[in-house]
Chains A and B, each alone.
Chain A
Amino acid sequence: MNTLIAIAGLGILCLIAEIFNLRKAIVPVTIIGLLAILGLNVSEYMDLGLNTAIMERNEGFYNNMIVNNSFGMAFTGLFIVLTIFLVAMTPEFHKGHKAKLSDFVAIKLFLLTGAIAMVSFGNLAMFFLGIEVLSISLYILAASEPKNLKSNEAGMKYFLMGAFASGIILFGIALIYGATGSFDNAVIYSAILSGDLPGWFFIGIVMLTIGLLFKIAAAPFHMWAPDVYEGSPALNTATMSTLAKVASMAAFFKLMRSLNHEVSASYVAIIITVSILSMTVGNFMALKQNNVKRMLAFSGISHAGFMLMVLLNPPAMSGVLFYYAAAYALAGIAAFAVILYVTANKENEDIYQFNGLGKTSPLMAATLTLALLSMAGIPILSGFFAKFFLFSEVLKTGNVLIVIVAVANSIVSVGYYFKLILAMYTKDAAENTQKVPAAYGIVAVLSILLTIAIGLYPDALLGLLK
């Protein structure tokens, strides 16, 4: 709870720093502040563990609006780490617009508050506010180059689709409120256990599901994602594909764990269909893309399909989801740090821009290779263990078909990741090399080291949610 307030305060501090001409201090102060808040979050997590025998104790604040539990705090820690990486890359990416630096950093911090509210809500009002704060910040980031028509188009499409999805989510919340008479998760949960709910309660659950599938860009509702990812400035694409996607998925999971405790057979059928569709559509569309941002958008759609499998048996899956989310998001940050380096001052992000990177900048090429291999699920890297844990948990629920499709899809995904890797190592560079900016290099190496580290010690993350 204190982390949420502290991050909102830090965002306001950024805006004030700009007024007092402290522009140079903004990024260092923000990063130090975020590290301090990460420490605060860890200490609150420790208190939670020490105070009680059961880790899954819920500590409510402000009339149960915010709930501190191990799920929310673990994800909060992950979001803070991701935001530190994204903020560290901001000054280098926006070096042409120094005057707007405080805005970009502050919006990222407000986005982080939205993400944290989404995973630590105890009341649907807080959930709605969180998802809206996150989405509105992303609309601004997507359209943050007003003179670039592509960025405008991305912002417009994202805004229309996002507002449409918010309307559907809101309608679902209203129906759930009508059925149970409360917005409080605990009250709704006990109302479900007592049974005897009107039919519109389930319509509300389905509408919430549809709205959140829009937000995580799963298959029938994914059409906005490739356009928005391609049109947005690259750093903001990185924000969307890592932080925003993981936050929406965690909120979806948390919501379904409490509202949909006994997953009904028809809901399992929905999840299996959507999951298989997202994986297949995402992977096969990614195979024919030439633009790297667009390719990673489709890769993100297929990863959303993988992550959706956790909804088949929510009570057992929180650790697996956290591990998968961390592995995917950290690999995504590493990949985007290299993409930002390669495509700086370039007109487009096509694959040929990466030709010969293996010779001109071996370190960055190796980082991108490892990040892509982790996303594809090659052993030693954390992406493999994420998929391994996910599949073995899903097998326990008895849905063999979806696991077979998922494994086949992982093999297909190797195809397009290797297209990029081959371009880096087998083709010759067309231009002279440019120096690797320190910020991109450090972020890329740190995040890839974290990816490898959590691959070597998976229990460190899985244990957080036990």
Chain B
Amino acid sequence: MENILQQIGIENYIYLSTLLFCVGVFGVLYRRNAIVMFMSIEIMLNAVNLLLVAFSTYHQDAAGQVFVFFSMAVAAAEVAVGLAILVAVYRNIKNIDIDNLKNLKG
């Protein structure tokens, strides 16, 4: 029986993850709500995880899947810090809209 990856083709996996990654990028660039921006960053990181797993299968090499664990752990730590900063911002301005953070200019 033929491998499912060969039937679909590695290119389509790359297109799918690039698409997901672009969804994340545009989310960060166009949405002004901090939580939605965090979610968009998560979409970017998960698009990369998908790509890594696809390449891992393509190369028949486990390193890519191990890297996904690293990147998931790092993403979790990053979001923990991000949410802590978000809580601090909310306590000061009672709002999580990025457009309200305009005190630093010059």
Binding site for B on A (CB under 8 A): 125, 128-129, 132, 135-136, 139-140, 143, 146-147, 149-150, 152-157, 159-160, 163-164, 166-168, 170-171, 173-175, 177-178, 181-183, 200, 226-227, 230-231, 289-291, 294
Contacts and interface: CB of A to CB of B under 8 A. Distances in A.
A175 B47 CA distance: 12
Contacts, number: 131
B78 A166 contact: yes
Contact of A167 (B44, B61, B85, B98): B44
B20 to A, nearest CB: 10
9 contacts: A143-B84, A152-B101, A153-B101, A167-B45, A174-B55, A181-B55, A182-B63, A227-B104, A291-B106
The 9 closest A-B CB pairs, nearest first, are A167-B44, A178-B55, A227-B104, A181-B59, A146-B88, A153-B101, A174-B51, A170-B48, A155-B85
Q: Of A159, A200, A231, which is in contact with the most chain B CB atoms at under 10 Å from its CB?
A: A159
Contacts of B34: 156, 160
A132 B55 CA distance: 23
A160 B28 contact: yes
A155 B86 CA distance: 9
A177 B52 contact: yes
A149 B100 CA distance: 11
B82 A159 contact: yes
Given A125-B67, A160-B34, A178-B10, 17 more contacts: A128-B70, A129-B70, A132-B78, A136-B81, A146-B88, A149-B93, A150-B104, A152-B89, A153-B89, A153-B104, A156-B85, A166-B78, A167-B21, A167-B25, A174-B55, A177-B63, A178-B54
Interface of B is mostly: helix
B103 A149 contact: yes
B54 to A, nearest CB: 8
Interface size class of B (residues with CB under 8 A): 35 or more
Contacts of B66: 125
